[in-house]
Amino acid sequence: MPKSATSTDFPILETYLDAIWMEKGLSENTLAAYRRDLQAFARWASLRHQKTTDISRADIENYLAHLLQAKRSPRSAARALSCLRGYYRYLLRSGELREDPTLDLDSPRLGRPLPKTLSETDVDALLKAPNLEDPIGFRDRCMLELLYACGLRVSELTGLTLSQLSLNQGVVRISGKGGKERLVPVGEEALHWLQRYLKEVRPALLGETPSDVLFPSRRAQMMTRQTFWHRIKQHAMTAGIQKSISPHVLRHAFATHLVNHGADLRVVQLLLGHSDLSTTQIYTHVARQRLQSLHAKHHPRG
């Protein structure tokens, strides 16, 4: 197991790191992150003439306050606390300590970051960006239409096969995370593009290659997520969109625009394939933020 140059300064930390490396099979990057957090704490304690085995609950609270005062994010401080919890539980089990100073200690409040999204004007410009004279451009237009119409994950989009699509019923059958299936309505606009694509473009992309892939690459194979990510970046540049954009931003736009137009949150949850409603509730905050900005911009007392 690789060790840092300062690891001999803190032998008890390295004993713990060796133990969790063996027990959990941690990657080198994860192990390095644990080491950085633990050594930073040990250095902080040594400046206060303390050892990590002499720490009280109040000391842990002071350390977290120190991290926040040093402009570390609440998420970073919460990760440091999680690391310390594992360390002190190990010391408790090994008999080095009688009490766990991290017991019942609350994590710093994170506050959920709002997802990046696009305005309806931006989405319209993006959808119109691909060159329809080029079969690849036509395919991309169809993929963007479907992505926005259904709120798919990029892996769900690139992995679609003909058997998952029903033009007659106007739905697409998605196999999402954990193998959970959901039926998502496609919508008239996306259906229009799909019908044209299947008739006019897909046969040309496949040539003589038999395939069930709905959106094949130039080589008549299943497209990678990375390829589509680069394609959507190019189309965003063509559309003059300055914001950072990815396929997932269109998924967020799908959900945000539904909520903005009054869609029930549980319906949005089903369409997105979220197993927990709390994951979907972030879009109520996005909608509220949008309403507040509109009020501030247009109300005479805003």
SS3 of residue 171 by DSSP: strand
pLDDT digits over 263-280, tens only?
Answer: 777 777 777 776 555 555
Of 139, 231, 251, 257, which is the active-site residue? 251
> Cα Rg for the chain, rounded, in angstroms?
26
274 is known as an active-site residue: yes
Residue-range domain boundaries for the chain:
7-93, 120-298
Of 72, 196, 274, 290, which is the active-site residue? 274
Of 158-162, 216-220, 253-257, 272-276, the one with minimum mean pLDDT is 272-276
Superfamily of domain covering 7-93: Tyrosine recombinase, N-terminal domain (1.10.150.130)
Proportion of the chain above pLDDT 70, given as a percent: 83
Of 116, 173, 248, 290, which is the active-site residue? 248
Ramachandran quadrant class, 153 (left: phi over 0; alpha: psi -120 to 50; beta: rest): beta
251 is known as an active-site residue: yes
pLDDT digits over 53-80, tens only?
Answer: 888 888 888 888 888 778 777 778 888 8
153 is known as an active-site residue: yes
Residue 301 confidence (pLDDT): 46
116 is known as an active-site residue: no
43 is known as an active-site residue: no
Q: CATH 1.10.443.10: does it fit domain 120-298?
A: yes
Nearest alpha carbon to residue 43 among 70, 97, 6: 6
* Helical segments of the chain, H only: 11-24, 28-47, 57-69, 74-93, 120-127, 135-150, 154-158, 188-196, 202-206, 225-239, 247-260, 265-272, 277-280, 282-298
Grade residue 9 by pLDDT with cuts at 50, 70 and 90: very low
Of 141, 153, 252, 257, which is the active-site residue? 153
pLDDT digits over 183-205, tens only?
Answer: 888 989 999 999 999 999 999 99
Of 48, 177, 218, 266, which is the active-site residue? 177
